[in-house]
Every structure is written in structure tokens, then in C-alpha cells.
Structure 1
Amino acid sequence: MKSFFTLLLTTILSAFCISFVAEAAIVINDYTMPKDLPEKYKSSLFSVLVEGEVIDTYKVGLNAWNNEVACCEFSSVDSVGITVTTNFSFSSARILPRDADIQCIINGNHLTFTMPVPQNVTIIFDEDFHGNTLHIFAQQQKNNTIKKNDANIIYFGPGYYDYSSLPPLQIESGKILYLDAGAVLRGRVLISDATDVKICGHGIILDDFTTSDEYDSVALTLKNSNHVTIQDITILRNAASWSAFMWKCGNISVNNVKIINPKYACSDGFDIGNSHNVTFNHMFIRSCDDSIAIKGTGNYGYNVAENPAITQANYAISVCNTQVWCDTNNALGIGAETVAAYYDNIQFKNIDILYNYDDLTYPDQFKERSALNICALNATNISNITYEDIRLEKGKQLISVTMPNDFWFGSMKGNWNWNGSFSRITYRNIVSYSDGSNVIQLFGRDSRHTVSDILFDNIKVNGSIIDLDSPLFKTNKYTKRVRFCRNGIITQEKMDHSELMFIMQHLSFRKDIKGGINGFIARGLMELAMKI
């Protein structure tokens, strides 16, 4: 009997210990800062506890308004409690994205909240989108099955590696660059003329410097490469230069990559140039210039005289399930450089635009900038573009489609000597909560360069459905066939200028044109045709 009770007690204690260990393992803090990481990369404004465990917090840099942008990362398998302590005072705080529906409790300079599932969230204080900001990346528990001694694997374990004085670390065909959690590589990474390459792990590429060597001053560059996968890494960039860029590439998958570059300006997030079959999924990008820009930079770099028709096209590109924050220029854009044979089959879907601002120095002066943007400097055909299920928390202009002569006070010239038009562009389930202008503008250039066949389906601004009669909606006479729908059912349609003129001319042949209903219709159509 004694042995039975001993066995029973042992079993109960074992079960208790197993339960305790399982509960304690909710938070996997394997993103610990390297011990020799320079102090300037450590945040002094934010302290983060997850289930009572200290999570190291990085200071990425200062934003355009000279306030700190910080981030931290951890893994979890379930709901976790988070406490954030600041060394500055605040009276309110909010957690984004809005759809996460996470509420916080404030006690002095502490705020606490529960994160129900691993996800990316951002904390803003006192509704100041220009103030100190904390980005928290909660990851699913990782499954580390990497073979560290494999000859095809370039492995960086936890630690700080300063390659800033060296050329970019070049990853050749068939190789894997694995940055383990806790690894911080200060340097640049290049994939050029390669196939079957992978960059993965939960480590960090840190690039807070600019260079003048023969290589691009970009943290991560892909050129002339095919079948490349990039996943799970974080890029912390603090320089007035692009963070990541691909050019003349195909079959590229970018998944669960986090990018922050708060430096003003030219600090794009991840740009795509003359590439095809590209997928971005579950991304987080904060930039102080375009967050994502699909560009055409020609065969040898941007050349305003180059005919886009002889360059590689941009097509089959998808950006989904992503959060972006853009302190300058456009959040989700095509252009401004558009030296590409054509743009086709491009989709932006299920995206939270946390913030979009036009410019620090010249606010409200660049009318071509917007959250959802197509701004082309070079004549080419852009078609089958879809923006769907997109939420704008705070910004200025909502949608803009333009064909300007130049960019940034004439510093970058365009070229409209060739034919090229924009058509079959769809905006579906777009919601803006912003207190900005929320302008929607579609401007063709001339009879050879038009904007046509545009569909708006459920566009809502601060609770109101937008239609043709909204003062927010603007077009010109080179914008044709615009339709507004609700849940796929057409409710309004804007005929183009030539169609109205045709109807008016047809009616003018009627003998009773000067009087009666036909005369009234013709005169009305004439007036309308002259306005558009």
C-alpha cells in the first residue's frame, strides 16, 4: 500500500511539473541581444515583459520628427500577457492594427495587454504618429531543423557580426544563408545571377551605414536571380537609402520578413523592379519613403531615354496579409520610375496601412502621393491591377493615379514619347479611418495616355460609401469608364468624353433638337461633355 501511495504521489508531482514546464514554455525568448552589441542599438525608452520575462528591445533609429522607433521580437505558442514600460510620460496609448482589437490598460508609464495569438502589433502614444513608437513582432514557435555543418549552408549563430567595412555577403546558387535567432549581421547581403537561393532564420540584418563602393548601398539586393526564398528574417536599416530591392528577377517568395527604416528619406522598404512571379506574404514594413514600390528601372538602371518596350516587364506580383507604415511618399505604389515593357496582374490584398504621410518638408505639396498609388513617369501599359481588402488607419490622400512630367521638383524626368495607358484597375473593399483628405483622383494625360475601365467596389471613408457624386472623387477628360459597385452590383457609371460626344452628336441629327426633351438631353450632355 505504501508503495502504491508513493507511486501515486510521484505521478501527481510529475504531471504537475510537466504542466508547469509546458506553461512556462509559452514564451520562447530566443531573440536575446548579443552581449557585444553596441549600446547605441539598445532602446532606452522601452522595456518589455512577456509573461514576466524580459524581452530585449532594439532602437532602430529616429524618425523624421526626431523620435525613437523601436522593436522587439519573441516566439509564443498561445495567448500571452505583455507589459510595456516607457521612460516618457503619456496619457493614452493604442495598439494597431485596429482589426487586432487589442485593448490596453494604462498605469502611469506602464501599459499592459493580452496578445491572444502571435502577430505583429504597433503601439502609438497619445495618438502621435510622429512620436516614439514600438513595434512588437510575436512569432510562431520556430522549428529549427537546419544542418549547421552542411557545405551549402552559410550559418550565423547568435552573436554580433560586423561586416560593414566589407563588400556585401554574396550568396551563390544553391546556397542557404541562415541567420539564427539572436544573430545580428551588420552588413549587406547580395544575391546576383543566382538560382535556388534561400535566406532564412530569425536573425537580423543590421545596416545603418551608406557606402560608396561599386555595390548598391542597400541592405538586401537581388539581381538577375531566379527561384529565391526569403523568410522570417528582420532587416533593421537606418540610412537614407533603400532597405531591400529586387531587379530583373523571377519566382521570388518573401514571407514573414520584417523591415524597418525610419530615416528620412529615400528609405524605401522593399522595392520590386522589372520582375515577375513575386509573392510577398505576412510582411511588416516601416519606411520613411515608399513602403513597397513596383518600379521599372530599365536594362541598366533608370534612363529616361530608354524605350520601356525593350525592357523586362513587371507581372504576376502579389502582396498579401501585410502591414505597412510609410512616413513619406506612398504606402503601396507603382512607380514612379516605370521603364518596364508593361505591368500586368498585380495584386495587393488584405493589407493594413498603419500610417501614410506625404512629406516632412513639403506637406500637402506633392499632389501625386497617396496611400494606394500609381504614379508613372514613363509611358507604358499598366493593366489588371487590384487593391482589395485594404484598411488605412491614418493618412492623407487615399488613391491617386497620375502621369506627371517629372518627380521631386524636376530632379527626375519622365518620358511620354511612347504610347501607354492604364486600364482594368480594381479597388475593392477599401476602408479609410483617416482624418486626412481621403482624396481619390484619376488623371489621364492625353488622348494617347488614358486611364480607363476603373472599378470601385465598396469604398468606405469614415463610415460613408464613396460614389461618383462624392467631393472626394476627382477625374479629368482623359479618364474613361469608371464604375462604382456595392458588393459587385454596379450602382453608378461614368461614361468617357467620347461616348458622351457621340450620343450628343447622334441626338443633334434629330429635327426637333432645338426643342423638347431631345434638345434638353443634348444640351445637358453637351455641358457634361465639356466638363469632363
Structure 2
Amino acid sequence: MRIHEPPAGKAFWSYLNDDFTVRVRIPGGVWRDLYEYDVKVDLDRPQDASMVFFDIAGPVEVAVKKNNGDVRRVQVRPDSAGVRAKLVGNTAYFRLEKPTNISVEFDGDRLHNLHLFANAPEPELPPPGPGVVYFGPGVHPLPEGQKTFRIPSNTIVVLAGGALVQGNIEIRDAENVRIVGHGIIDHPQEGITIANSRNVTVDGPIVLNPNHYTLLCGQSAGVTIRNLKSFSAASWSDGLDFMSCSDVRVDGVFMRNSDDTIAIYGGRWDYKGDARHYRIANSILWADVAHPINIGLHGTPDAAEVLEDIEFRNIDILGHDEDDRDYQGAMAITDGDNNLVRDVRFEDIRIDDIQEGMLFNFRAVFNAKYSHAPGRGIENITLRNVHFKGGDINRPVIAGHSEDRRVRGVRIENVTVGGKRIRRSDIDVGPFVDDLVVR
């Protein structure tokens, strides 16, 4: 087990949230204190929640004490983590068998909860030297006159545990770049930018309350994102946004954001081209605002781009809350800008809570605020083994736009709400929909 250095000096107090006291130990060993970071969540009315992180290679025991108020119950989410807590007074005790990302919630409070990230051990990190940009423990502000940390080709960026990097990490017109380590990118304008680049890996860091995107990827290919954790509570503070990117792998991320947690588009701004071959798996998504998953809204004006071969598998959605029906859907395909969206699979998806919204929303649309044109259509969509615990939510929607901009070939298999399989009659099926199968 490894516990990383907390912020030093005055920063120790400015980053601290003392709502909880968190301790961890090897089973039967000596308890060790963790540093509890303050994180902001939920744009609707930003709140102070807590975060801890550490590295483990085997089982550990954890004690989480709520320092203020009376406690009646505790819940650890997602359920798929298999963590059951025992409450003794104001302290929850539980055991972790392996690395995991969880939310610890007392008395149903999900706005002032504890986010606990038990990472696998950091890989052996290269020391400072040629081809290595090294951020060790401590605070790293942007150098005077510099707007980003610009990273060249053939570089390893080390964010060691305990590092607080105060600026955007920018990978532009580059190839063969790796960002590794369990450090924090701290309150940047934008967390990580990958633009017109190839063969980029991001593995392990935390992005703490950026003003905008956690990670923006534009017109790039061969991108792998693993074990990235993120919090945001600002306007347009999406999690992972991909514009005209292909050959993308996302695995083991935890995203709590106040806009779409993962969005896949065609062209936007300076980025142009198709989007294909996405594999997104084993992750936790929590949208305090907008969609956990959104595909298709943006494309290049006067072009006809294709978004295809996209798979979401083994995903826990801890929250979806959106007031505007146009932007609802825990899983959304919002097809605009002459995009054609096809061959999309959602499989083994568990939705824990929808505060306001709907299970899925698949439409070819013209969005008056954002669209240059309606989408060309949606084809070959599969939802399989998707389970929502249940609640009072809006009905899911499937709809085409016009005779030549249709939705075709949606397969819904073993999708349940409150333990009951949904039927076609549970879905608002609009016009221009062909070959819908629900079973």
C-alpha cells in the first residue's frame, strides 16, 4: 500500500475538506490517515464533496468517519463494486479486495459524499531526463507568460502521486506521448488537450475542477485513456469530448461532471472528419448535468461525416440529472449536422439513479441552438443487458427526423426498469423509425 504526499505549507489547508476522517490499513495492521481533498460537484448549486486516493496491491481495510452530525445509514456505490460497509457510530468500516473507485454516502447525501480511489500501484516511473517531463510531489504553476504545458512528440509526462499541476497539458501536432502517474491536474482552464495527434496514452491522473473540458480530443487517432478521474462543476465542463477522433480506448475511468461525461462527435471548430472504432469499458459515469453518454450532435458544416463502430460495455452510471428534455438520456444519440451514426452497442450497463431525465434518447434532430443541419440518420443500435434500478422518470424516446433521415435497426434486449423488462409500449416511438425490436 502506498499513500501519496499531501499538499505542503499553506496549500495543505486550502485543499482540505474535513467533513470526513479517512484511515486505511493492511488487514490487521496499523491504521494510516489519508488526506481528504475538497472537490466541487454539481453546477446546479456547486457543493463541497471530498476525495481521497491511494495505491494498493492487495486487500485493505478502510474506516470513514463522518465528522459532523448524526448518521443513520451508509451506502457504497456502485453496487457492482461489491463493497458492503458496517456502520459503528459515525464510522463506516469496509474492506477492499482490489483496486476500485467508489462513492461513500451517508444518509443518502450525494452532494457532500466521499469519493475514494484505490489505484493499482503506479508503474515504475522514469526519472527526469531526455524525453521525460517530470512533475514530482508539490505544486507546479505555469511558468510566467506560458498558457499551457506544451508537450512534444516522443515524450513521457510523469505526474507523480502528490503532484499538483496547475495548468492545461497540451499535446498538439504530436505523436507517441504518454501521460502517466497518480498526480492531480489542478483547477486548469482545460485539463488535457489532444489535437491533431497520434498514439497518445493517458494513464492514472486526476483532473480537479477544470473550468472547461477534462479532456478534449480533436482530430486524433490511437488514443488510450485509462484510470482517469475527474470532477467538474462549471458551465460546459464536459468530461471526455472527442471530435473527429478514431481508434479510441477508454478503460476504468471515473467521471463526475457538470455536462456530458463522455461525448463523441464528428467535426467541430477546427477539427474535421469521421469518428470510428471506440471501445469504452469498465467505467463509472456521473452526470450532475446533461448526459452520461452523448453521441452525434456536432459535425462539420456542409460535410457528411460518419460516426460508427462505438461500444460501451460494463459501465456504471451513478447519476443523470437534466431539466431540458432535449438534453435528457442516460444514453443519448442526438444525431445532427448531417452525421450518420451507425453500429453502436450499449451492453452490460447499470444505471443507479436518474434524478431527472430518461433511460435513452435516440433521435435524428435539428437542434436550433447548435445544428447546421439535421442528422442523416441512425442505424444498427443495440442495447443489451441494461438495467435501471427504477424511479419516476420520463419515457425513453426513439424518433427519426424525416423520410430520408430515419432511425433503423434498433435492438433492445433484456433492458429492465425496476427488475421488469421494458416493452415497446414503454417507449415513445416517433415517426420515421424502422425495424425496432424489443425483447
Cα offset, 1:128, TM superposition? 3.4
* 1:195-210 superposed matches below 5 A: 195-207=175-187
Which structure ranks higher in relative contact order (CA pairs < 8 Å, sequence separation ≥ 6)? 2
Matches of residues 32-431 of structure 1 in structure 2 within 5 Å?
32-35=6-9, 37=11, 39-51=13-25, 52-63=31-42, 64-89=44-69, 90-129=71-110, 131-144=111-124, 146-163=125-142, 166-207=146-187, 217-239=189-211, 241-261=212-232, 263-298=233-268, 300=270, 311-339=272-300, 341-358=305-322, 363=323, 365-395=324-354, 396-406=357-367, 410-416=368-374, 420-431=376-387
Structure-2 separation of matches of 1:34 and 1:180: 15
- After superposition, the CA RMSD in angstroms is 1.9
Q: Identity of aligned pairs, percent? A: 23
- The DSSP-based 3-state class of the residue aligned with 1:429 is strand
Matched ranges for 1:413-492 at <5 A? 413-416=371-374, 420-437=376-393, 439-469=395-425, 472-485=426-439
Amino acid at match of 1:128: D
Please say if residues 170 and 190 of structure 1, whose CA atoms lie closer than 8 Å, have aligned partners that are also in contact.
yes
**How far does residue 349 in structure 1 lie from its aligned partner after superposition?**
0.6
Provide the residue aligned with 2:3 in structure 1.
Answer: 29
Residues in 2 aligned to 1:179 and 1:255: alpha-carbon distance in whole angstroms: 14
AA aligned opposite 1:391: R
1:121-147 Cα shifts (integer Å, max 9, x gaps): 111232233x21211000122332x33
Deviation of residue 164 (structure 1)? 8.0
The 2-side partners of 1:379 and 1:143 are apart by: 44
CA drift of 1:299 comes to 5.9
Q: CA deviation at 1:350?
A: 0.5
Q: Deviations over 1:230-252 (max 9, x none)?
A: 1011111243x222110000001
Query: Secondary structure at 1:347's aligned position in 2?
Result: strand
CA contact (8 A) 2:244 2:267 kept: yes
| Contact 1:154 1:178 (8 Å CA) reproduced | yes
Deviations 1:54-73 (A, max 9, x none): 11111122533342122111
Is this contact kept in 1: 2:399–2:433, CA < 8 A?
yes
TM-score, with structure 1 as normaliser:
0.77
The amino acid across from 1:222 in the alignment is: I
SS of the residue aligned with 1:412? coil
Question: Is the partner of 1:336 in helix, strand or coil?
Answer: coil
Unpaired runs of 5+ residues, structure 2, are 26-30
Question: 1:99 aligns to what SS in structure 2?
Answer: helix
Deviation of the 1:109 alpha carbon: 2.6
Instruction: State which structure, 1 or 2, has the greater radius of gyration over its C-alpha atoms.
Output: 1
Distance in 2 between residues matched to 1:36 and 1:199, nearest whole Å: 28
Q: Distance in 1 between matches of 2:234 and 2:384?
A: 32
Deviations 1:143-190 (A, max 9, x none): 32x331431001111111122863100110011111111111111110
Contact 2:296 2:307 in 1 (8 A): no
Runs of 4+ deviating beyond 4 Å? none
Whichever residue aligns with residue 370 of structure 2, its letter is M
Letter in 1 for 2:288: D
Distance of 1:381 and 1:399 partners within structure 2: 18
Q: CA shift at 1:38, angstroms?
A: 5.4
Alpha-carbon shift at residue 206 of structure 1 (Å): 0.8
Deviation readout 1:284-331 (Å, 9 max, x if unpaired): 111011000012234626xxxxxxxxx410100111110111101100
Which secondary structure does the structure 2 equivalent of 1:39 belong to? helix
What is the deviation of 1:114? 1.5
Matched residues in 2 for 1:343 and 1:31: separation? 43
CA contact (8 A) 2:329 2:358 kept: yes
Render the CA deviation track for 1:382-419: whole Å, top value 9, x for unaligned. Answer: 1000011000000130000123332xxx4434413xx7
1:453-491 deviation per Cα after TM superposition (whole angstroms, max 9, x unaligned): 01011101111011223xx31112211101123xxxxxx
Contact 2:174 2:198 in 1 (8 A): yes
How many pairs align? 426
Q: Deviations over 1:84-135 (max 9, x none)?
A: 1223323222101111222212233322211222211111232233x21211
Q: Which residue of 1 aligns with 2:28?
A: none
- Secondary structure of 1:117's counterpart equals coil
Q: How many angstroms apart in 2 are the aligned matches of 1:292 and 1:335?
A: 11
Q: Is the CA contact 1:35–1:159 (under 8 Å) kept in the aligned structure 2?
A: no
Letter in 2 for 1:177: V
Cα distance in 2 between the residues matched to 1:268 and 1:225: 21
**TM-score (norm: length of structure 2):** 0.92
Find the counterpart in structure 2 of residue 520 from structure 1.
Answer: none
Q: Give the whole-Å Cα distance in 1 for the aligned partners of 2:10 and 2:201.
A: 30
Range with greater deviation from structure 2 (150-159 or 32-41) = 32-41
